[in-house]
Amino acid sequence: MGTFDRRAFLQQAGWATMALGMGATSLRVLADAGATPEASGVSSQAIRAFLDAVAGSNHEMHSLMVVRHGRNIAQGWWRPYRADTPQTLYSLSKSFTSTAVGLAVADGKLKVTDRVIDFFPDRLPASVSDNLKALRIQHLLTMSAGHAVDTAPLITREQDWVKAFLALPVDNVPGSAFVYNSGATYMLSAIVQKVTGEKLIDYLRPRLFEPLQLQVGPWSTCPRGINTGGWGLSATTEALARFGRLYLQQGRWGGKQLLPKSWVQEATTFKIQQPATAPGTDLAQLKQSSDWHQGYAYQFWRCRHDAFRGDGAFGQYCIVLPKQDAVIALTSATTDMQGLINLVWLHLLPGMQDQPLPADVSSSSKLQEQLAALALPLPSGSQAPPTSARINGRSFELESNSLGAKSVALRFERDICKFELATAAGRFDIDCGLGRWSEGTTSMPGTPPEISELIGPPVGEQPPVKVAAAGVWKDPNTFQMQWRFYGTPHHDVVTCRFDGERVQVEFKNSITALTGGGHPETRPILTGRA
């Protein structure tokens, strides 16, 4: 894909720092009785065309949910991704942070015109600039805080992120220029916690998550126990679709006004224009083709076709289309986020009509079959060459390495290979299916991959992550595994090469692969002897 431009990708991704119950099945299609696409004015063939276009592209899709007139008309998950597992949202977390601010405003806890410095009088620098004095909550919401660059990579190096943020120079008058700034979203989280006495996730739980029955994961925190705000939340695809429906329904849910209608309108309408991406670029021309130049609202992006969205790095989307009375939620792994949303406009949008369509039993049936068959490709190769018997169960002692790994072993039994990595901290295993996905959890060092240098080191104990793994023999001496961390967009490819009594183990994370080496693998190549 050519040279990887991290800043351009993260800007497009809407992320400058970086973030129900069907078991292992990949499908929960037509959950609402009788909710065929045609009954809601959507062509099944249009959805099929979108799926075909994705299959023929470089985009790796993980889930899709299409909601029209309040009904789930099509939904599916690419195995081993599954409906009941919350997905890492990256910067789509920001839209939930914005919602918490709206609820705090409705509770009378704050106003968007409040000054930021008034919330943290004990964390201010010795000299407070005029621009810092002028910084208000609305500037944090609209990414116009006045900093020349995103503050997140700077503040996350410190223990006190609030103090670090307030100490940074505010180069421009707040409100005068758009600069994507995940640190500003963190400050919104800190303010909500300050005025409510609760973490963002705890404040949202009875006001948003429980009424909408949203299945969400934990929300990462800073060293002082404040939710990161701009990244770090996980949610299921259905949670994204319900969240989008809440905004589509002007804050109403189940006959109750959960979020003020006035806030929904304020939070999703144009507030500030993003600049052209490069000197000499024509903004008017960009606005014809770029969904990153339609204006920014309160932690929501405006889109073409009078839509708005929350989105996160590597292609996590909650797209709300008020004119079509529709929501499209999808998760994926792509660095071409504009390319993926282009497929939505090219195929899904034209398939939405104002009136119910005639029943199309054949196309609707084929759509259901297509959704039911969604799956990511398994690794290709042989399942059982003679080499597996020779190395089965043998421990290979590893040379000194930065990962702290001491030994590695592979144990084969029927359709499973158990990969065992021993370190000074203990032994870590991953079961790999042979010709199939094997699901489990792991705490193995270095998993799952993430853009760690932009968000700082993990805070607190990291829980085990879900993994689906499969392995094959690429040749008689090379066993290769794919570890799918299906609560994230990411995976690892791990290659074990055997040469007589020696072994070499090489890790390659999917971010490295997606970015063409723009985010290099940090784990060393392990070498050892039986």
Least confident segment among 271-285, 368-382, 455-469: 455-469
In this prediction, residue 361 carries a pLDDT of: 94
Residue 255 domain-assigned (yes or no)? yes
pLDDT in tens, 284-296: 999 999 999 999 9
pLDDT in tens, 365-388: 999 999 999 999 999 998 877 777
Question: In the block, which residue shows the tokens 């939405």?
Answer: 352
pTM, two decimal places: 0.92
Statement to judge: residues 343 and 446 lie in one domain = no
Q: Average pLDDT, stretch 359-367?
A: 96
In this prediction, residue 388 carries a pLDDT of: 75
pLDDT in tens, 161-178: 999 999 999 999 999 999
Statement to judge: residues 397 and 334 lie in one domain = no
424 or 352, which is more confident: 352
Statement to judge: residues 33 and 75 lie in one domain = yes
Residue 227 domain-assigned (yes or no)? no
Statement to judge: residues 361 and 400 lie in one domain = no
The enclosing domain of 263 has a CATH number of 3.40.710
Write the DSSP assignment of 145-202 as a string of letters. SS-SS-SHHHHTTSS-HHHHHHHS---S-TTS-----HHHHHHHHHHHHHHHSS-HHH
Residue 146 domain-assigned (yes or no)? no
Find how far residue 442's CA is from the centre of its chain: 20
Statement to judge: residues 341 and 416 lie in one domain = no
Residue 91 domain-assigned (yes or no)? no
Which letter, b or e, does each residue of 501-527 get, where b requires 16 or more Cβ atoms within 10 Å of its Cβ?
eebebbbbbbbbbbbeebbebebbebe
pLDDT in tens, 111-157: 999 999 999 999 999 999 999 999 999 999 999 999 999 999 999 99
Q: Which three-class secondary structure state does DSSP give residue 236? A: coil
Find how far residue 297's CA is from the centre of its chain: 20
In this prediction, residue 445 carries a pLDDT of: 85
Residue 198 domain-assigned (yes or no)? no
Report the number of distinct structural domains present in the chain. Answer: 2
In this prediction, residue 28 carries a pLDDT of: 41
Least confident segment among 40-44, 101-105, 449-453, 495-499: 449-453
CA distances to 194, 316, 324, 326, 368 from 29, rounded to whole Å, are 42, 20, 21, 17, 7
Statement to judge: residues 399 and 508 lie in one domain = yes
pLDDT in tens, 305-339: 999 999 999 999 999 999 999 999 999 999 999 99
pLDDT over 70 at 6, yes or no: no
Please give the Cα distance from 258 to 99 (Å, whole number).
Answer: 11
In this prediction, residue 21 carries a pLDDT of: 33
Please give the Cα distance from 357 to 352 (Å, whole number).
Answer: 9
Write the DSSP assignment of 32-80 as a string of letters. STT--TGGGTB-HHHHHHHHHHHHTSS-EEEEEEEEETTEEEEEEE-BT
Average pLDDT, the chain: 91
In which band, very low, low, confident or very high, does the pLDDT at 298 lie, cut at 50, 70 and 90? Answer: very high
In this prediction, residue 523 carries a pLDDT of: 92
Statement to judge: residues 360 and 419 lie in one domain = no
Statement to judge: residues 336 and 432 lie in one domain = no
Q: From 314, 341, 372, give the residue that closes a domain.
A: 372
In this prediction, residue 35 carries a pLDDT of: 72
Statement to judge: residues 354 and 422 lie in one domain = no
Residue 113 domain-assigned (yes or no)? no
The enclosing domain of 415 has a CATH number of 2.40.128.20
Statement to judge: residues 395 and 444 lie in one domain = yes
Q: From 319, 345, 372, give the residue that closes a domain.
A: 372
pLDDT in tens, 26-60: 334 344 555 799 999 999 999 999 999 999 999 99
Sequence-distant contacts of 507-510: CB under 8 A, at least 24 apart: 507/446, 509/449, 510/333, 510/449
Q: Tell me the percentage of the chain whose pLDDT exceeds 70.
A: 91
Residue 290 domain-assigned (yes or no)? yes
Statement to judge: residues 395 and 467 lie in one domain = yes
204: left (phi over 0), alpha (psi -120 to 50) or beta: alpha
Statement to judge: residues 399 and 361 lie in one domain = no
Domain of 508, in residue numbers? 387-529
Please give the Cα distance from 399 to 376 (Å, whole number).
Answer: 35
What is the spatial order of strands in the sheet that 87-88 belongs to? 87-88, 233-235, 216-219
CB atoms within 10 A of CB 324: 22
Least confident segment among 13-22, 212-221, 482-491: 13-22
In this prediction, residue 390 carries a pLDDT of: 86
Question: Are 99 and 247 contacting, i.e. CB atoms less than 8 angstroms apart?
Answer: no
Q: What residues have CB less than 8 Å from 197, skipping those under 6 apart? A: none
Question: Are 121 and 146 contacting, i.e. CB atoms less than 8 angstroms apart?
Answer: no
pLDDT in tens, 238-253: 999 999 999 999 999 9
In this prediction, residue 455 carries a pLDDT of: 54
Please give the Cα distance from 300 to 412 (Å, whole number).
Answer: 49
Residue 173 domain-assigned (yes or no)? no
In this prediction, residue 39 carries a pLDDT of: 96
Q: From 372, 395, 421, give the residue that closes a domain.
A: 372
